[in-house]
Amino acid sequence: MIPLQDNIRARRVPLMNYTIILINVLIFVFQRGLEPAALQATIVRYGVVPTRLLAEPGAAQFGTLVSSMFLHGGWFHLISNMWALWIFGDNVQDCMGAWRYLFFYLASGLVAAGLHVALHPGSSLPVIGASGAIAGIMGAYLVLFPRARVITLVPIGFLWFVQIPAVVYLGFWFLTQLVQGLFALAVVGTDLPYGGVAWWSHVGGFVCGIVLVPLLRERGAQSCWHPDEYSPW
């Protein structure tokens, strides 16, 4: 299922959300300009490597918990993350304000990376990407806008455009991440000797978003829910 947009219009221009997206895009453009060896060195240096973080705890390694959020492995990785942030982030920022939203975004990413490290302490692969932080945004959206509708492209045989309740769409998304994460632990164990998706980063970020959003939303943000304000078509 590919989300296209939701039916909730933000009441304020989400400048912080736009800024986060812009920073990610600019850093990716910089990455694309590097030679392959330099790019690999950058990913290894600024990505989260569980074995290195646990063996050499310090400012430099803990800094990778943040720097890794702004690196991406390819165009699909970047676009899929930024698209989800574009769809869900504006409304979450609307309920928090810019600076609380930035703190929330970074905190979700930190928790996401931390859970990945805790469950894969033997992995020497660098983990990069904003998906853990964005999973936090999605968890917050679930709490704030459970009755919203997500316009979704479902490519089954031919293309279907359906409106799915946010609680169903996001709940199903979280369930798939959890199942994949449990499967990875059962089959692969904690060493994670291959590349792929950091499922537990998604799980950790999502749960963090659910926990933190009641603490960080602005007073009166329970009124953030807006009934169907406009037709998404």
Q: Which of 115, 145, 137, 138 is nearest to 127 (CA)?
A: 115
- E-strand ranges in 29-186 read 149-156, 158-165
Sequence-separated (6 or more) residues with CB below 8 Å from residue 129: 68, 69, 71, 72, 73, 77, 81, 198, 201
Fold that domain 2-224 belongs to in CATH: Rhomboid-like fold (1.20.1540)
pLDDT per residue rounded down to tens, the chain (233 residues): 788 888 888 888 999 999 999 999 999 999 999 999 999 999 999 999 999 999 988 888 999 999 999 999 899 999 999 999 999 999 999 999 999 999 999 999 999 999 999 998 988 889 999 999 999 999 999 999 999 999 888 776 666 778 889 999 999 999 999 998 888 887 765 555 555 678 899 999 999 999 999 999 887 644 454 443 333 33
Q: Which of 99, 134, 96, 103 is nearest to 224 (CA)?
A: 96
Sequence-separated (6 or more) residues with CB below 8 Å from residue 213: 92, 95, 96, 104, 139, 140, 143, 144
Residue 2 is inside which H or E element, if any? strand 2-6
pTM of the model: 0.88
Q: Which of 92, 91, 88, 66 is nearest to 214 (CA)?
A: 92
Give the whole-angstrom CA distance, residue 196 versus residue 198. Answer: 7
CA 216 to chain centre: 18
